[in-house]
Every structure is written in C-alpha cells, then in structure tokens.
Amino acid sequence: MEKCSSAAVFEKDDLNLRLGLPGRDESEQPSSSCVKTNKRSSSEMENQVQQSAPTPPKAQVVGWPPVRSYRKNALHAESGMLVKVSMDGAPYLRKIDLKFYNNYLDLLKALEAMFKCTIGVYSEREGYNGSEYAPTYEDKDGDWMLVGDVPWEMFITSCKRFRIMKASEAKGLAGSCSPSLPQFLLTKNIQLSPTNLSVGLTRLTSLVRI
C-alpha cells in the first residue's frame, strides 16, 4: 500500500507552469477529455482535440458552457428570429432577435444604441437620405432591401440578415430594387443631382415594384 507523505511530495515541486490541454501529460495515458458524451465519440475527433491548440473546440465540448439543458431548451423555444447585424466599419457582427421589437422605430432605436450611430428616419421617397447610415437587409430571395419599405410583419418574416450601410452606398436601394441598380447608376457616369436622383428613383421604383 502506497504511503504518500503529502508534504514531502509537494513542497519540493516548483510550480510547473505548463500551458497545455488539460489531461495531457506525456507520462500518462491520454485521458479522453473534451469529447465525452453518453454516446461513444469518434476516436478521430478525440485525437484532433488532444493535438490541437490549448483551447478546446468550443461547440463540441459536452456540458459547456454549463447551462442546464432545461434552460437551453427553453431558450431555443423562445428565440426564432435571430439575425446577424453587420455595420460598415464595425469590426464585429452582432445578433439581434427580431421578436423583441414591435415596430421599425423600436428596432432602429435599438440598432442606433447598439452601434452608436445615427440612422434617422425613413421616408418612402428619400429612404434614409440625410442620415449617416442606412439600414438594409437581405430578404428571403437574396435581395438587399432598404429597411422600412414593407409592412413590419412582412419584414420580420422575410429578413435574413442585416447590414447597416453608409448612406451613400445605400442610395440605390429605396423600394424593392436589387443591389445591381446603384452600381449601374454610379458606374455609368450619369450626372446625378439630388433632385434628379430622387425623382429618378421614384420612377424606377414604380417600374420595378411588383
């Protein structure tokens, strides 16, 4: 029977700072860490985990983060309208839950607060003219639209992704226009004045709208 004198064993040891994957010790058998489930994990995945960099693969670790499955299920049931939001010039994406908001005003106010920018007020004729940023979204058909044009209920069911563009870039998107339109306007050397543009766009809008 082993007798370990705890003091003797440990006081001599210096603090050995090794930054390695937990469970990895050259002298011991590798413990099957990180990919434990009630089912067998694939050994390939295990090897990958043990040889990789110190951070364990995030979504694959059982029981991490430590949120009760009860709670996880409840959250899943609650949210269903998460969309990614990016802003031109901002380094990271955010996600919002469209279920939170009752109307465009609430949504835009929240986005302004989140990204610390001014979006201003939507007008059907001029879009977000006059403000620094314009909110746009990608709908179910893959088209980029200006936020505010369709009724709210239709919007929240068709919005897949958000992009807060610089207002200058968003000029071509008033109404149900496709993204190719602004490029057409800008690259064909057409002389545009603000009045021309808004009138022209209104006309286009009435042509393009289905």
Partner 1 sequence: MAYSFPEEVLEHVFSFLSSDRDRNAVSLVCKSWYDIERWCRRRVFVGNCYAVSPEIVIRRFPELRAVEMKGKPHFADFNLVPEGWGACAYPWIAAMAEAYPFLEEIRLKRMVVTDESLELISKSYKNFKVLVLTSCEGFTTDGLASIAANCRHLRELDLRESEVEDLSGHWLSHFPDSCTSLVSLNMSCLGSEVSFSALERLVARSPNLRTLRLNRAVPLERLANLIRRAPQLVELACKQLKALSGFWDVVPSYLPAMYSVCSGITSLNLSYAAIPSSDLVKLISQCQNLQRLWVLDYIEDSGLEALAASCKDLQELRVFPSDPFGAEPNVSLTEQGLVSVSEGCPKLESVLYFCRQMSNAALIAIAKNRPNFIRFRLCIIDPQAPDYLTLEPLDAGFGAIVENCKELRRLSMTGLLTDRVFKYIGSHAKKLEMLSIAFAGDSDLGLHHVLSGCDSLRKLEIRDCPFGDKALLANAAKLETMRSLWMSSCSVSFGACKLLAQKMPRLNVEVIDERGPPDSRPEDCSVERVYVYRTVASRRRLDMPDFVWTLDEDSSLRYS
- Smallest CA-to-CA distance from 49 within 67, 64, 68 is with 64
Q: Which amino acid is at 10?
A: F
- Which residue do the tokens 């992009």 mark? 163
Pairing of strands 133-138, 82-87: unpaired
**Taking the complex as a whole, how short is the minimal distance between the CB of residue 94 and partner 1, in angstroms?**
6
Let me know: does 127 contact 171? Beta carbons within 8 Å. Answer: yes
- Could you tell me the sign of the dihedral formed by the alpha carbons of 142, 147, 150, 156, in that order? positive
Q: Indicate the residue among 101 and 137 with the shorter CB distance to partner 1.
A: 101
Min CB(166)–partner 1 separation in Å: 22
Judged by beta carbon, residue 18 or residue 188, the one nearer partner 1 is: 18
* Least CB distance to partner 1 at residue 145 (A): 23
- Residue 5 CB, shortest distance to partner 1, in Å, is 8
Nearer to partner 1 among residue 69 and residue 191 (C-beta): 69
Q: Tell me how far apart the alpha carbons of residues 137 and 143 are, in angstroms, rounded to a whole number.
A: 8
Q: Which helix (H) or strand (E) holds 85?
A: strand 82-87
Q: Judged by CB, which is closer to partner 1: 70, or 140? A: 70
Which tokens is 33 given?
């860490």
For partner 1, the closer CB: 38 or 187: 38
**Angstrom distance (rounded) from CA 79 to CA 97:** 7
Binding region for partner 1 (CB under 8 A): 1-2, 4-6, 9-10, 13, 15-20, 22-25, 28-34, 36-38, 40, 54-56, 58-59, 61-72, 74-75, 78-79, 82, 92-97, 99-102, 110, 114
Measure the CA angle with vertex 13, ends 10 and 14; round to 5°.
Answer: 135
**Of 61 and 197, which has the nearer Cβ to partner 1?**
61
**Shortest distance, CB of residue 85 to partner 1, whole angstroms?**
9
Q: How far is the CB of 124 from partner 1 (least distance, A)?
A: 26
Q: How far apart are CA 161 and CA 145, in angstroms?
A: 10
